Amino acid sequence: MFRLITGIPGPSGFGSASTAEQVTQGIDATALTAIITGGASGIGLETSRVLCKRNVHVIIGARNMEAANEAKQMIIKDNNKARIDIIKLNLASLKSVKAFADHFISLNLPLNILINNAGIMFCPYQLSEDGIEMQLATNHLGHFYLTSLLLDKMKETAKSTGIEGRIVNLSSVAHIHTYYRGIRFHKINEKSSYSDKKAYGQSKLANILHANELSRRLQAEGANITVNSVHPGLIMTNLFKYAAISMRILKFFSCILWKNVPQGAATTCYVALHPKLKGVSGKYFVDCNESAPSRLATDEALAKKLWDFSNKLINAAQTT
Active-site positions read 194
CB 20 within 8 A of CB 1: no
Q: β-strands 284-286, 289-291: how paired? A: antiparallel
- Helix (H, G, I), strand (E, B), or coil: what is residue 219? helix
Q: What angle do CA 13, 16, 21 make, to 5 degrees?
A: 70
Stated as kind and residue range, the H or E segment containing 234 is: strand 234-235
- Helix (H, G, I), strand (E, B), or coil: what is residue 113? strand
- The string of DSSP codes covering 34-82 is EEEETTTSHHHHHHHHHHHHTT-EEEEEES-HHHHHHHHHHHHHH-TT-
